[in-house]
Amino acid sequence: MNVEDIVEAIRALECDLPKDVENKLLLAKEKEEGLSRMIMEAILENVKYARENKIPICQDTGIIEFFVSCEEKFSEIRKMIIEGIKRATEEVPLRKNTVNPFTRENQGENLGRFHPILHFENSNEAKIDILAKGAGSENVSCLSMLDPTCGIEGIKKLVIQTVKNAGRRPCPPIVVGVGVGGTMEKAIYFAKRALLRELNSKNPDLNLRELEEELLKEINKLGIGPMGFGGKTTALGVLIEWGHCHTASLPVAVNIQCWALRRRTIILR
């Protein structure tokens, strides 16, 4: 892998949706009518236009997060990613999104303290998953430290309530990433990692697969619909990732993702 691969992966993810996401949007369009159908048509036209002209799908090119899974060369990879972000900002281009949270000063490089956002996982998988997270959906996401006795019912309630509270703001139809367990920060990490899974993939855990299907059904009963105009499709999918947690805790994170679920994977050779 070199810097060029990173720049090209960022370009590809910003300018073209993964096929599984576009297919879900096509299916959603068929289910909608009236203004909600017009919205879906505009969304799909936008996806096509962006792809053909190599233009970022959305002006909010997001904060780009890197999930690096490998066994070595962490520092080398980190350097390449920093260079990749700098170049992609100019070449793709990316909107200059990172600011100082206190002064709101924008240095114009999409870098800054603790940037880029890197998650290193020591693993023999040898790949980098890249996710562009826009603020519209990130802003309505949530973390809750539930009591262990809340159980699965508590998890369901939190997911549904979070989607309800988000309402029409996060650019529905959304994808809902749910992280359960771990520690406070890991629950959020799991929720984000869940978004890396393909929308037509099945959760390997049968119980979780059923839970994902049940939650998706419940969410789509809310009637929020495309852009909140009302309709059958509020979410395209619910994806759950989990880890063991403290006996006294039940951390649950709900990471809302807009319809423009932009991800790519680089396989490390």
Partner 1 sequence: MKVLKLNTILNEDDVRKLKVGDVIFFTGIIFTMRDMAHLRALEIIKNGGKLPFDLKNRIIYHCGPLIKNNKVISAGPTTSMRMEIFEKDLIMITGLRGIIGKGGMGENTKKALKEHGAVYMEFPGGAGALAAKSILGIKEVYWKDLGEPEAVWVLEVKDFGPCFVTMDSQGNTLGYF
The residues binding partner 1 (CB under 8 A) are 35, 38-39, 42-43, 45-46, 49-50, 53, 55-61, 90, 93-97, 99, 104-106, 108, 134-136, 139, 167-171, 222-225, 227-230, 258-260
Residue whose tokens read 């988000």: 166
Work out how close the CB of 116 gets to partner 1 at its nearest, in angstroms, rounded to a whole number.
18
Indicate the residue among 37 and 156 with the shorter CB distance to partner 1. Answer: 37
Indicate the residue among 135 and 267 with the shorter CB distance to partner 1. Answer: 135
Work out how close the CB of 173 gets to partner 1 at its nearest, in angstroms, rounded to a whole number.
10
Question: What residues contact 143, with CB distance under 8 A and at least 6 apart?
Answer: 184, 187, 188, 251, 252, 253, 254
Question: What gap in Å lies between CA 173 and CA 218, rounded to an integer?
Answer: 14
Phi, psi of 48 (to 5 degrees): -65, -45
Work out how close the CB of 216 gets to partner 1 at its nearest, in angstroms, rounded to a whole number.
18
- Count of residues in the chain: 269
Work out how close the CB of 75 gets to partner 1 at its nearest, in angstroms, rounded to a whole number.
31
- Residue at 126: amino acid letter: A
Burial label, 221 (beta-carbon count in 10 A; 0-12, 13-18, 19+): exposed
Work out how close the CB of 248 gets to partner 1 at its nearest, in angstroms, rounded to a whole number.
36
Indicate the residue among 50 and 187 with the shorter CB distance to partner 1. Answer: 50
**Rounded to the nearest 5 degrees, what angle is found at the Cα of 106, between the Cα atoms of 100 and 112?**
55
Helix (H, G, I), strand (E, B) or coil at 262: strand
Phi, psi of 57 (to 5 degrees): -55, -45
Helix 3-15 with 74-91: angle, nearest 10 deg: 50
Work out how close the CB of 160 gets to partner 1 at its nearest, in angstroms, rounded to a whole number.
14
Sheet holding 63-70, edge to edge: 117-122, 63-70, 127-133, 262-267
Q: Which residues pair with 253 in a beta bridge?
A: 143, 179
Work out how close the CB of 2 gets to partner 1 at its nearest, in angstroms, rounded to a whole number.
24
Q: Which residues pair with 237 in a beta bridge?
A: 175
